[in-house]
Structure 1
Protein backbone atom coordinates (compact mmCIF):
# COMPACT_ATOMS: atom_id res chain seq x y z
CA UNK A 1 0.00 0.00 0.00
CA UNK A 2 1.31 3.44 -0.93
CA UNK A 3 1.06 6.49 1.32
CA UNK A 4 -2.19 8.39 0.85
CA UNK A 5 -2.15 11.99 -0.25
CA UNK A 6 -2.07 14.23 2.83
CA UNK A 7 -3.36 17.67 3.75
CA UNK A 8 -1.49 18.41 7.01
CA UNK A 9 1.98 17.97 8.49
CA UNK A 10 2.45 17.64 12.26
CA UNK A 11 5.98 18.29 13.51
CA UNK A 12 6.62 16.74 16.95
CA UNK A 13 9.37 17.50 19.46
CA UNK A 14 9.89 17.25 23.21
CA UNK A 15 11.60 18.78 26.21
CA UNK A 16 12.66 17.00 29.38
CA UNK A 17 13.17 13.25 29.43
CA UNK A 18 10.98 10.14 29.88
CA UNK A 19 12.95 8.56 32.72
CA UNK A 20 10.82 7.23 35.60
CA UNK A 21 13.19 5.21 37.79
CA UNK A 22 14.39 8.29 39.66
CA UNK A 23 12.51 11.57 39.38
CA UNK A 24 13.48 14.91 40.85
CA UNK A 25 12.74 16.54 43.24
CA UNK A 26 11.77 13.28 45.01
CA UNK A 27 15.25 11.97 44.26
CA UNK A 28 18.30 14.20 44.56
CA UNK A 29 19.63 12.78 41.34
CA UNK A 30 17.32 11.60 38.64
CA UNK A 31 15.39 12.47 35.53
CA UNK A 32 13.47 15.67 34.96
CA UNK A 33 10.31 16.40 36.93
CA UNK A 34 8.49 17.30 33.72
CA UNK A 35 8.32 16.13 30.15
CA UNK A 36 6.59 18.12 27.42
CA UNK A 37 5.71 16.83 23.96
CA UNK A 38 4.55 19.35 21.37
CA UNK A 39 3.16 19.48 17.85
CA UNK A 40 3.12 22.21 15.25
CA UNK A 41 0.50 21.50 12.59
CA UNK A 42 0.70 23.20 9.21
CA UNK A 43 -1.20 22.73 5.97
CA UNK A 44 0.70 20.98 3.22
CA UNK A 45 0.41 24.04 0.98
CA UNK A 46 2.38 26.09 3.51
CA UNK A 47 4.91 23.44 4.51
CA UNK A 48 7.50 24.68 2.04
CA UNK A 49 7.33 28.13 3.64
CA UNK A 50 8.53 27.01 7.06
CA UNK A 51 12.23 27.31 6.26
CA UNK A 52 11.68 30.94 5.32
CA UNK A 53 9.64 31.53 8.47
CA UNK A 54 12.51 30.23 10.59
CA UNK A 55 14.97 32.47 8.75
CA UNK A 56 12.72 35.49 9.35
CA UNK A 57 12.35 34.64 13.04
CA UNK A 58 16.12 34.36 13.44
CA UNK A 59 16.61 37.70 11.70
CA UNK A 60 14.13 39.28 14.12
CA UNK A 61 16.45 38.42 17.02
CA UNK A 62 19.67 39.23 15.19
CA UNK A 63 20.81 35.65 14.69
CA UNK A 64 23.29 35.25 11.84
CA UNK A 65 22.46 31.57 11.40
CA UNK A 66 19.11 31.90 9.66
CA UNK A 67 18.47 28.18 9.20
CA UNK A 68 18.23 26.85 12.76
CA UNK A 69 16.54 28.21 15.88
CA UNK A 70 18.40 27.42 19.10
CA UNK A 71 15.71 28.39 21.61
CA UNK A 72 17.65 27.26 24.66
CA UNK A 73 20.62 29.43 23.67
CA UNK A 74 18.60 32.63 23.26
CA UNK A 75 18.39 35.40 25.83
CA UNK A 76 15.14 35.75 27.77
CA UNK A 77 14.11 38.73 25.69
CA UNK A 78 14.81 36.97 22.40
CA UNK A 79 12.93 33.88 23.52
CA UNK A 80 9.88 36.06 24.00
CA UNK A 81 10.35 37.62 20.57
CA UNK A 82 10.63 34.16 18.97
CA UNK A 83 7.45 32.98 20.71
CA UNK A 84 5.57 36.09 19.59
CA UNK A 85 6.76 35.65 16.00
CA UNK A 86 5.70 32.00 16.00
CA UNK A 87 2.27 33.06 17.26
CA UNK A 88 1.80 35.13 14.08
CA UNK A 89 2.23 32.16 11.73
CA UNK A 90 -0.61 30.15 10.11
CA UNK A 91 -0.09 27.05 12.27
CA UNK A 92 -1.85 25.25 15.12
CA UNK A 93 0.03 24.36 18.27
CA UNK A 94 -0.44 21.54 20.78
CA UNK A 95 1.41 20.50 23.93
CA UNK A 96 1.15 17.67 26.46
CA UNK A 97 2.89 18.34 29.79
CA UNK A 98 3.44 15.46 32.20
CA UNK A 99 4.52 15.95 35.80
CA UNK A 100 6.28 12.64 36.42
CA UNK A 101 6.38 12.49 40.19
CA UNK A 102 3.28 10.30 40.37
CA UNK A 103 4.83 8.03 37.70
CA UNK A 104 8.07 7.45 39.61
CA UNK A 105 9.06 3.76 39.35
CA UNK A 106 5.75 3.00 37.66
CA UNK A 107 5.78 0.17 35.14
CA UNK A 108 3.16 -0.62 32.55
CA UNK A 109 3.93 -4.28 32.01
CA UNK A 110 1.18 -4.71 29.44
CA UNK A 111 2.55 -1.86 27.35
CA UNK A 112 6.13 -2.99 27.82
CA UNK A 113 5.34 -6.31 26.13
CA UNK A 114 4.38 -4.45 22.96
CA UNK A 115 6.25 -1.17 23.17
CA UNK A 116 9.50 -2.11 24.88
CA UNK A 117 10.94 0.46 27.30
CA UNK A 118 9.61 3.60 25.63
CA UNK A 119 5.97 3.04 26.55
CA UNK A 120 5.84 6.28 28.57
CA UNK A 121 7.04 8.40 25.65
CA UNK A 122 4.57 6.65 23.35
CA UNK A 123 1.76 7.21 25.84
CA UNK A 124 2.38 10.98 25.76
CA UNK A 125 2.58 10.86 21.98
CA UNK A 126 -0.75 9.03 21.95
CA UNK A 127 -2.40 11.86 23.92
CA UNK A 128 -0.93 14.35 21.46
CA UNK A 129 -2.06 12.35 18.41
CA UNK A 130 -5.61 12.13 19.74
CA UNK A 131 -5.92 15.91 19.81
CA UNK A 132 -4.02 16.54 16.58
CA UNK A 133 -6.06 14.04 14.57
CA UNK A 134 -9.30 15.37 16.04
CA UNK A 135 -8.35 18.91 14.95
CA UNK A 136 -7.29 17.79 11.45
CA UNK A 137 -10.45 15.73 10.96
CA UNK A 138 -12.64 18.62 12.14
CA UNK A 139 -10.90 21.10 9.83
CA UNK A 140 -11.10 18.79 6.82
CA UNK A 141 -14.85 18.36 7.31
CA UNK A 142 -15.59 22.02 7.96
CA UNK A 143 -13.64 23.24 4.95
CA UNK A 144 -14.70 20.39 2.60
CA UNK A 145 -11.06 19.56 1.93
CA UNK A 146 -10.45 16.86 -0.69
CA UNK A 147 -7.47 15.58 1.30
CA UNK A 148 -7.64 14.81 5.00
CA UNK A 149 -4.59 12.82 6.11
CA UNK A 150 -1.84 14.16 8.35
CA UNK A 151 1.84 13.29 8.08
CA UNK A 152 3.66 13.01 11.42
CA UNK A 153 7.30 14.09 11.51
CA UNK A 154 9.18 13.31 14.74
CA UNK A 155 12.37 14.90 15.97
CA UNK A 156 15.02 12.28 16.60
CA UNK A 157 16.13 12.17 20.23
CA UNK A 158 18.54 9.85 21.97
CA UNK A 159 17.04 6.66 23.35
CA UNK A 160 13.86 6.56 21.25
CA UNK A 161 13.16 3.88 18.68
CA UNK A 162 11.11 5.47 15.94
CA UNK A 163 10.35 2.11 14.38
CA UNK A 164 8.53 1.39 17.65
CA UNK A 165 6.80 4.76 17.47
CA UNK A 166 5.64 3.98 13.92
CA UNK A 167 4.46 0.55 15.09
CA UNK A 168 2.56 2.18 17.95
CA UNK A 169 1.00 4.62 15.48
CA UNK A 170 -0.26 1.61 13.51
CA UNK A 171 -1.55 -0.04 16.69
CA UNK A 172 -3.52 3.09 17.58
CA UNK A 173 -5.07 3.06 14.12
CA UNK A 174 -6.18 -0.55 14.48
CA UNK A 175 -7.62 0.03 17.93
CA UNK A 176 -9.48 3.17 16.87
CA UNK A 177 -10.77 1.65 13.66
CA UNK A 178 -11.95 -1.46 15.46
CA UNK A 179 -13.63 0.52 18.23
CA UNK A 180 -11.43 -1.07 20.88
CA UNK A 181 -9.04 1.61 22.16
CA UNK A 182 -7.38 0.78 25.47
CA UNK A 183 -8.27 4.27 26.70
CA UNK A 184 -11.61 5.54 25.48
CA UNK A 185 -12.00 9.13 26.67
CA UNK A 186 -10.22 10.21 23.51
CA UNK A 187 -9.78 8.14 20.37
CA UNK A 188 -7.30 8.84 17.56
CA UNK A 189 -9.13 9.64 14.33
CA UNK A 190 -7.92 6.76 12.22
CA UNK A 191 -9.45 8.23 9.06
CA UNK A 192 -6.71 10.89 8.93
CA UNK A 193 -3.86 8.53 9.90
CA UNK A 194 -1.64 6.22 7.87
CA UNK A 195 1.31 4.05 8.94
CA UNK A 196 3.01 5.26 5.75
CA UNK A 197 2.87 8.88 6.92
CA UNK A 198 5.26 8.67 9.90
CA UNK A 199 8.80 10.02 9.52
CA UNK A 200 11.68 11.11 11.74
CA UNK A 201 14.64 13.40 11.21
CA UNK A 202 17.37 15.11 13.23
CA UNK A 203 16.13 18.40 14.64
CA UNK A 204 18.34 20.50 12.38
CA UNK A 205 17.10 18.90 9.14
CA UNK A 206 13.50 20.11 9.31
CA UNK A 207 12.55 23.69 10.10
CA UNK A 208 9.14 22.54 11.35
CA UNK A 209 10.85 20.54 14.09
CA UNK A 210 12.58 23.70 15.28
CA UNK A 211 9.19 25.40 15.66
CA UNK A 212 7.96 22.39 17.62
CA UNK A 213 11.02 22.75 19.86
CA UNK A 214 10.01 26.35 20.57
CA UNK A 215 6.59 25.16 21.79
CA UNK A 216 7.95 22.28 23.89
CA UNK A 217 10.66 24.49 25.38
CA UNK A 218 8.36 27.45 26.04
CA UNK A 219 5.99 25.33 28.10
CA UNK A 220 8.88 23.54 29.80
CA UNK A 221 10.24 26.93 30.90
CA UNK A 222 6.78 27.79 32.25
CA UNK A 223 6.60 24.75 34.54
CA UNK A 224 10.17 23.76 35.41
CA UNK A 225 11.76 25.33 38.48
CA UNK A 226 14.68 22.93 38.89
CA UNK A 227 16.84 23.14 35.77
CA UNK A 228 15.84 26.37 34.06
CA UNK A 229 15.41 28.63 37.08
CA UNK A 230 12.09 30.02 38.33
CA UNK A 231 9.02 29.25 36.23
CA UNK A 232 8.82 31.68 33.31
CA UNK A 233 5.43 31.60 31.62
CA UNK A 234 5.69 34.60 29.29
CA UNK A 235 6.90 32.52 26.33
CA UNK A 236 4.08 29.99 26.61
CA UNK A 237 1.49 32.74 27.12
CA UNK A 238 2.73 34.47 23.98
CA UNK A 239 1.80 31.37 21.95
CA UNK A 240 -1.90 31.67 22.86
CA UNK A 241 -3.07 33.05 19.47
CA UNK A 242 -2.06 29.81 17.76
CA UNK A 243 -2.76 27.22 20.47
CA UNK A 244 -5.48 24.79 19.39
CA UNK A 245 -8.87 24.95 21.08
CA UNK A 246 -11.86 22.63 21.21
CA UNK A 247 -15.31 23.03 19.66
CA UNK A 248 -16.32 24.74 22.89
CA UNK A 249 -13.46 27.23 22.57
CA UNK A 250 -11.42 25.67 25.41
CA UNK A 251 -7.65 25.32 25.37
CA UNK A 252 -7.42 23.03 28.38
CA UNK A 253 -7.35 19.29 27.68
CA UNK A 254 -7.08 20.07 23.98
CA UNK A 255 -4.31 22.38 22.81
CA UNK A 256 -2.81 22.31 26.31
CA UNK A 257 -2.96 19.00 28.18
CA UNK A 258 -1.76 18.45 31.75
CA UNK A 259 -1.02 15.02 33.13
CA UNK A 260 -1.89 13.60 35.63
CA UNK A 261 -5.63 14.11 35.65
CA UNK A 262 -7.73 15.45 37.22
CA UNK A 263 -5.55 18.53 37.40
CA UNK A 264 -6.07 19.07 41.13
CA UNK A 265 -4.52 15.66 41.77
CA UNK A 266 -1.22 16.89 40.33
CA UNK A 267 1.30 17.60 43.06
CA UNK A 268 2.59 20.86 41.61
CA UNK A 269 3.33 24.25 43.10
CA UNK A 270 1.33 27.42 42.57
CA UNK A 271 3.96 28.85 40.22
CA UNK A 272 3.76 25.68 38.14
CA UNK A 273 -0.03 25.91 38.06
CA UNK A 274 -0.04 29.44 36.64
CA UNK A 275 0.42 28.58 32.96
CA UNK A 276 -2.28 25.92 33.12
CA UNK A 277 -4.67 28.35 34.82
CA UNK A 278 -3.93 30.82 32.03
CA UNK A 279 -5.12 28.17 29.54
CA UNK A 280 -8.29 27.40 31.47
CA UNK A 281 -7.45 24.78 34.07
CA UNK A 282 -9.17 25.08 37.48
CA UNK A 283 -7.20 23.59 40.36
CA UNK A 284 -10.01 23.98 42.90
CA UNK A 285 -10.30 20.62 44.59
CA UNK A 286 -13.93 19.36 44.77
CA UNK A 287 -15.34 18.76 48.23
CA UNK A 288 -15.85 15.10 47.42
CA UNK A 289 -12.18 14.57 46.47
Structure 2
Protein backbone atom coordinates (compact mmCIF):
# COMPACT_ATOMS: atom_id res chain seq x y z
CA UNK A 1 0.00 0.00 0.00
CA UNK A 2 1.43 3.39 -0.98
CA UNK A 3 2.33 5.96 1.68
CA UNK A 4 -0.02 8.91 1.09
CA UNK A 5 2.04 11.14 3.40
CA UNK A 6 5.19 10.74 1.29
CA UNK A 7 5.69 13.42 -1.39
CA UNK A 8 5.99 12.15 -4.95
CA UNK A 9 9.33 12.37 -6.80
CA UNK A 10 9.93 15.60 -8.69
CA UNK A 11 12.00 16.72 -11.67
CA UNK A 12 11.68 20.52 -11.36
CA UNK A 13 12.26 23.09 -8.63
CA UNK A 14 10.50 26.46 -8.53
CA UNK A 15 11.85 28.99 -6.03
CA UNK A 16 9.48 31.89 -5.33
CA UNK A 17 10.44 35.09 -3.53
CA UNK A 18 8.74 38.45 -3.16
CA UNK A 19 9.31 42.21 -3.24
CA UNK A 20 7.05 44.81 -1.68
CA UNK A 21 4.47 43.79 0.89
CA UNK A 22 1.07 42.05 0.62
CA UNK A 23 -0.80 44.53 2.83
CA UNK A 24 -3.97 45.89 1.22
CA UNK A 25 -5.60 47.69 4.16
CA UNK A 26 -3.57 50.84 3.56
CA UNK A 27 -1.80 51.35 0.23
CA UNK A 28 0.45 54.12 -1.03
CA UNK A 29 -0.05 56.61 -2.64
CA UNK A 30 -3.70 56.52 -1.57
CA UNK A 31 -2.68 56.35 2.09
CA UNK A 32 0.40 58.25 3.28
CA UNK A 33 2.45 55.80 5.30
CA UNK A 34 0.61 52.84 3.80
CA UNK A 35 2.07 49.68 2.32
CA UNK A 36 3.85 49.50 -1.02
CA UNK A 37 1.87 50.24 -4.18
CA UNK A 38 3.15 47.01 -5.70
CA UNK A 39 3.52 43.42 -4.56
CA UNK A 40 5.72 41.28 -6.81
CA UNK A 41 6.44 37.56 -6.84
CA UNK A 42 9.47 36.30 -8.75
CA UNK A 43 10.08 32.67 -9.63
CA UNK A 44 13.26 30.92 -10.70
CA UNK A 45 12.48 27.55 -12.29
CA UNK A 46 15.07 24.85 -12.98
CA UNK A 47 15.23 21.12 -13.58
CA UNK A 48 16.49 19.01 -10.69
CA UNK A 49 19.63 18.13 -12.62
CA UNK A 50 20.68 21.80 -12.29
CA UNK A 51 20.00 22.08 -8.54
CA UNK A 52 23.63 21.75 -7.49
CA UNK A 53 24.64 24.53 -9.90
CA UNK A 54 22.59 27.25 -8.20
CA UNK A 55 25.22 27.95 -5.56
CA UNK A 56 27.85 28.25 -8.31
CA UNK A 57 25.65 30.67 -10.26
CA UNK A 58 25.18 32.92 -7.23
CA UNK A 59 28.89 32.71 -6.45
CA UNK A 60 29.75 33.77 -10.00
CA UNK A 61 27.37 36.72 -9.81
CA UNK A 62 28.85 37.86 -6.49
CA UNK A 63 32.38 37.55 -7.90
CA UNK A 64 31.45 39.61 -10.97
CA UNK A 65 29.97 42.22 -8.62
CA UNK A 66 33.35 42.39 -6.81
CA UNK A 67 31.73 40.99 -3.68
CA UNK A 68 34.05 38.03 -3.18
CA UNK A 69 33.73 38.15 0.61
CA UNK A 70 29.93 37.96 0.48
CA UNK A 71 28.01 34.69 0.54
CA UNK A 72 24.46 36.00 0.16
CA UNK A 73 23.03 37.96 -2.77
CA UNK A 74 20.24 40.40 -1.85
CA UNK A 75 19.32 42.50 -4.86
CA UNK A 76 17.71 45.39 -3.00
CA UNK A 77 20.90 46.04 -1.04
CA UNK A 78 23.14 46.18 -4.10
CA UNK A 79 24.67 49.44 -5.32
CA UNK A 80 22.83 50.66 -8.40
CA UNK A 81 25.76 49.96 -10.71
CA UNK A 82 25.80 46.34 -9.58
CA UNK A 83 22.12 45.60 -10.24
CA UNK A 84 22.25 45.46 -14.07
CA UNK A 85 25.27 43.17 -13.89
CA UNK A 86 23.35 40.74 -11.68
CA UNK A 87 20.36 40.78 -14.04
CA UNK A 88 22.48 40.37 -17.14
CA UNK A 89 24.27 37.38 -15.65
CA UNK A 90 21.00 35.73 -14.58
CA UNK A 91 19.62 36.47 -18.04
CA UNK A 92 22.49 34.44 -19.47
CA UNK A 93 21.87 31.23 -17.49
CA UNK A 94 20.18 28.96 -20.01
CA UNK A 95 19.05 26.42 -17.41
CA UNK A 96 16.76 28.94 -15.66
CA UNK A 97 13.29 30.11 -16.60
CA UNK A 98 11.92 33.21 -14.93
CA UNK A 99 8.39 34.26 -14.02
CA UNK A 100 7.16 37.54 -12.50
CA UNK A 101 3.72 38.32 -11.07
CA UNK A 102 3.14 42.07 -10.57
CA UNK A 103 0.16 43.24 -8.53
CA UNK A 104 -0.73 46.91 -8.40
CA UNK A 105 -2.56 47.16 -5.10
CA UNK A 106 -4.24 50.55 -5.48
CA UNK A 107 -7.37 48.90 -6.87
CA UNK A 108 -7.20 46.21 -4.18
CA UNK A 109 -7.26 48.47 -1.13
CA UNK A 110 -9.46 46.84 1.49
CA UNK A 111 -10.75 44.35 -1.07
CA UNK A 112 -11.72 40.86 0.01
CA UNK A 113 -12.91 38.30 -2.47
CA UNK A 114 -16.07 37.14 -0.71
CA UNK A 115 -16.12 33.74 -2.35
CA UNK A 116 -12.50 33.14 -1.39
CA UNK A 117 -13.08 34.56 2.09
CA UNK A 118 -16.03 32.26 2.68
CA UNK A 119 -13.64 29.34 2.27
CA UNK A 120 -10.92 31.03 4.32
CA UNK A 121 -12.56 31.48 7.72
CA UNK A 122 -10.21 33.09 10.19
CA UNK A 123 -7.55 33.96 7.60
CA UNK A 124 -6.47 37.60 7.50
CA UNK A 125 -7.11 39.70 4.42
CA UNK A 126 -3.39 40.05 3.65
CA UNK A 127 -2.96 36.26 3.75
CA UNK A 128 -5.93 35.82 1.41
CA UNK A 129 -4.29 38.29 -0.99
CA UNK A 130 -0.91 36.52 -0.78
CA UNK A 131 -2.58 33.16 -1.46
CA UNK A 132 -4.32 34.63 -4.49
CA UNK A 133 -1.06 36.01 -5.91
CA UNK A 134 0.67 32.69 -5.27
CA UNK A 135 -2.10 30.90 -7.13
CA UNK A 136 -1.67 33.19 -10.15
CA UNK A 137 2.04 32.49 -10.51
CA UNK A 138 1.66 28.76 -9.82
CA UNK A 139 -0.91 28.45 -12.58
CA UNK A 140 1.69 29.65 -15.05
CA UNK A 141 4.65 27.77 -13.58
CA UNK A 142 2.79 24.44 -13.57
CA UNK A 143 1.55 25.04 -17.10
CA UNK A 144 5.16 25.51 -18.22
CA UNK A 145 6.37 22.46 -16.27
CA UNK A 146 3.65 20.25 -17.69
CA UNK A 147 4.39 21.17 -21.30
CA UNK A 148 8.17 21.01 -20.80
CA UNK A 149 8.06 17.63 -19.04
CA UNK A 150 5.89 16.13 -21.78
CA UNK A 151 8.52 17.19 -24.34
CA UNK A 152 11.54 16.24 -22.22
CA UNK A 153 10.33 13.03 -20.56
CA UNK A 154 7.22 11.98 -22.44
CA UNK A 155 5.12 12.28 -19.28
CA UNK A 156 4.13 14.89 -16.66
CA UNK A 157 6.76 15.35 -13.92
CA UNK A 158 6.19 17.07 -10.57
CA UNK A 159 7.66 20.39 -9.48
CA UNK A 160 8.86 21.19 -5.97
CA UNK A 161 7.86 24.66 -4.76
CA UNK A 162 10.21 26.52 -2.40
CA UNK A 163 8.77 29.70 -0.88
CA UNK A 164 11.03 32.41 0.50
CA UNK A 165 10.27 32.88 4.19
CA UNK A 166 9.76 36.55 5.00
CA UNK A 167 7.88 36.28 8.29
CA UNK A 168 4.75 38.00 6.95
CA UNK A 169 2.66 34.98 5.92
CA UNK A 170 1.35 31.70 7.25
CA UNK A 171 2.98 29.26 4.86
CA UNK A 172 0.94 26.42 6.33
CA UNK A 173 -2.11 28.41 5.21
CA UNK A 174 -0.62 28.74 1.72
CA UNK A 175 -0.12 24.97 1.57
CA UNK A 176 -3.68 24.40 2.77
CA UNK A 177 -4.92 26.82 0.09
CA UNK A 178 -3.18 24.79 -2.61
CA UNK A 179 -4.88 21.62 -1.42
CA UNK A 180 -8.23 23.44 -1.24
CA UNK A 181 -7.90 24.51 -4.87
CA UNK A 182 -7.16 20.92 -5.87
CA UNK A 183 -10.26 19.71 -4.04
CA UNK A 184 -12.32 22.42 -5.75
CA UNK A 185 -10.93 21.44 -9.13
CA UNK A 186 -11.95 17.81 -8.60
CA UNK A 187 -15.43 18.93 -7.55
CA UNK A 188 -15.74 21.40 -10.43
CA UNK A 189 -16.27 24.35 -8.07
CA UNK A 190 -13.11 26.36 -8.75
CA UNK A 191 -13.78 30.11 -8.69
CA UNK A 192 -12.34 31.94 -11.74
CA UNK A 193 -11.42 28.75 -13.57
CA UNK A 194 -10.19 30.24 -16.85
CA UNK A 195 -6.78 29.07 -15.70
CA UNK A 196 -6.00 26.53 -13.03
CA UNK A 197 -2.96 24.98 -11.42
CA UNK A 198 -1.96 21.86 -13.35
CA UNK A 199 -2.57 19.09 -10.83
CA UNK A 200 -0.62 16.54 -12.83
CA UNK A 201 2.61 18.30 -11.84
CA UNK A 202 1.66 20.07 -8.59
CA UNK A 203 1.34 18.39 -5.17
CA UNK A 204 0.91 20.41 -1.97
CA UNK A 205 3.24 17.99 -0.19
CA UNK A 206 6.03 19.37 -2.37
CA UNK A 207 5.73 22.89 -0.93
CA UNK A 208 8.69 23.85 1.23
CA UNK A 209 9.63 27.05 3.04
CA UNK A 210 13.21 28.26 3.27
CA UNK A 211 15.10 31.41 4.15
CA UNK A 212 16.57 33.23 1.14
CA UNK A 213 19.94 33.70 2.83
CA UNK A 214 20.50 29.92 2.87
CA UNK A 215 18.94 29.05 -0.48
CA UNK A 216 20.67 30.07 -3.70
CA UNK A 217 17.56 29.45 -5.80
CA UNK A 218 15.61 31.93 -3.70
CA UNK A 219 18.38 34.48 -4.18
CA UNK A 220 17.91 34.13 -7.93
CA UNK A 221 14.16 34.55 -7.46
CA UNK A 222 14.89 37.68 -5.43
CA UNK A 223 16.72 39.18 -8.43
CA UNK A 224 13.60 38.62 -10.52
CA UNK A 225 11.12 39.95 -7.97
CA UNK A 226 13.17 42.96 -6.91
CA UNK A 227 14.21 44.05 -10.41
CA UNK A 228 10.60 43.99 -11.62
CA UNK A 229 9.51 45.83 -8.47
CA UNK A 230 12.10 48.51 -9.24
CA UNK A 231 10.79 48.63 -12.80
CA UNK A 232 7.22 49.55 -11.85
CA UNK A 233 7.37 51.21 -8.41
CA UNK A 234 7.82 54.97 -8.80
CA UNK A 235 7.45 55.91 -5.13
CA UNK A 236 10.42 56.64 -2.84
CA UNK A 237 12.46 55.04 -1.42
CA UNK A 238 12.49 52.86 -4.58
CA UNK A 239 14.97 54.06 -7.20
CA UNK A 240 12.75 53.59 -10.26
CA UNK A 241 14.58 51.86 -13.11
CA UNK A 242 13.16 49.65 -15.87
CA UNK A 243 16.53 48.68 -17.34
CA UNK A 244 17.41 45.92 -14.89
CA UNK A 245 14.27 43.84 -15.43
CA UNK A 246 14.61 44.20 -19.19
CA UNK A 247 17.93 42.34 -19.00
CA UNK A 248 16.10 39.21 -17.83
CA UNK A 249 14.13 38.89 -21.07
CA UNK A 250 16.20 36.02 -22.53
CA UNK A 251 15.13 33.85 -19.60
CA UNK A 252 11.51 34.97 -19.18
CA UNK A 253 9.09 32.11 -19.82
CA UNK A 254 6.88 32.24 -22.91
CA UNK A 255 3.83 30.35 -24.07
CA UNK A 256 3.41 30.12 -27.82
CA UNK A 257 5.92 32.95 -28.12
CA UNK A 258 3.93 35.27 -25.82
CA UNK A 259 5.19 36.63 -22.49
CA UNK A 260 2.19 38.78 -21.51
CA UNK A 261 0.06 37.10 -18.84
CA UNK A 262 2.44 34.15 -18.68
CA UNK A 263 6.12 34.83 -17.99
CA UNK A 264 5.10 38.31 -16.82
CA UNK A 265 1.62 38.70 -15.34
CA UNK A 266 -0.10 41.89 -14.20
CA UNK A 267 -2.91 42.28 -11.71
CA UNK A 268 -5.51 43.60 -12.17
CA UNK A 269 -6.25 41.68 -15.36
CA UNK A 270 -8.28 44.67 -16.54
CA UNK A 271 -5.18 46.81 -16.88
CA UNK A 272 -7.01 50.14 -17.00
CA UNK A 273 -8.20 49.60 -13.42
CA UNK A 274 -4.66 50.13 -12.17
CA UNK A 275 -4.53 53.75 -13.44
CA UNK A 276 -0.80 53.49 -14.13
CA UNK A 277 1.46 56.36 -15.05
CA UNK A 278 3.12 56.25 -18.50
CA UNK A 279 6.51 55.46 -16.99
CA UNK A 280 5.02 52.51 -15.11
CA UNK A 281 3.67 51.07 -18.35
CA UNK A 282 7.05 51.22 -20.10
CA UNK A 283 8.41 47.94 -18.72
CA UNK A 284 5.13 46.13 -19.32
CA UNK A 285 5.02 47.35 -22.92
CA UNK A 286 8.56 46.04 -23.39
CA UNK A 287 7.26 42.61 -22.37
CA UNK A 288 4.44 42.63 -24.90
CA UNK A 289 1.62 44.39 -23.07
CA UNK A 290 -0.32 46.75 -25.34
CA UNK A 291 -0.23 50.30 -24.02
CA UNK A 292 -3.75 51.01 -25.29
CA UNK A 293 -5.20 48.40 -22.92
CA UNK A 294 -4.13 50.50 -19.96
CA UNK A 295 -6.48 53.27 -21.08
CA UNK A 296 -9.37 51.46 -22.79
CA UNK A 297 -12.12 49.38 -21.18
CA UNK A 298 -12.47 45.98 -22.82
Task: Give the TM-score, by structure 2 length.
Answer: 0.92
Structure 1, unaligned stretches of length 5 or more?
none
Question: Quick one: distance in 1 between partners of 2:212 and 2:152?
Answer: 32
**Correspondence 1:254 to 2:285:** no
1:28 shift after superposition: 1.1
* Residues 141-152 of structure 1 mapped to structure 2, 5 A cutoff: 141-145=150-154, 148-152=157-161
Residue 76 of structure 1: how far off its partner (Å): 1.5
CA distance in 2, matches of 1:147, 1:133: 10
- Map 1:111-190 → 2, pairs under 5 A: 111-115=116-120, 116-117=123-124, 118-145=127-154, 148-190=157-199
- The Cα shift of 1:112 comes to 3.2
Q: Secondary structure at the match of 1:190?
A: coil
Of the structure 1 ranges 222-231 and 272-281, higher mean CA displacement relative to structure 2 is found in 222-231
TM-superposition CA deviations, 1:1-28 (whole Å, max 9, x none): 1111101000000000111111110111
Partner residue of 1:102 out of 99, 102, 107: 107
Task: Give the distance between the partners of 1:16 and 1:287, measured in 2 at CA.
Answer: 28
Deviation at 1:178, TM superposition (A): 3.8
The alpha-carbon deviation at position 176 of structure 1 amounts to 2.9
Aligned residue for 1:49? 53
Greater Cα offset, 31-40 or 112-121: 112-121
Q: RMSD over aligned Cα, in angstroms?
A: 1.6
Kept in 2: contact 1:9–1:153 (CA 8 A): yes
Name the CA distance, whole Å, in 2 between partners of 1:271 and 1:212.
Answer: 24
Q: How many residues align?
A: 288
1:57-76 residue pairs with structure 2 within 5 A?
A: 57-76=61-80
Find the partner of 2:251 among 233, 242, 247: 242
Question: In the TM superposition, what whole-angstrom CA distance separates every residue of 1:10-64 from its partner, at most 9, and x where no partner exists?
Answer: 0000000111111110111201000001111000010111011111110011112
User: Is residue 272–residue 296 contact of structure 2 (8 Å, CA) maintained in 1?
Assistant: no
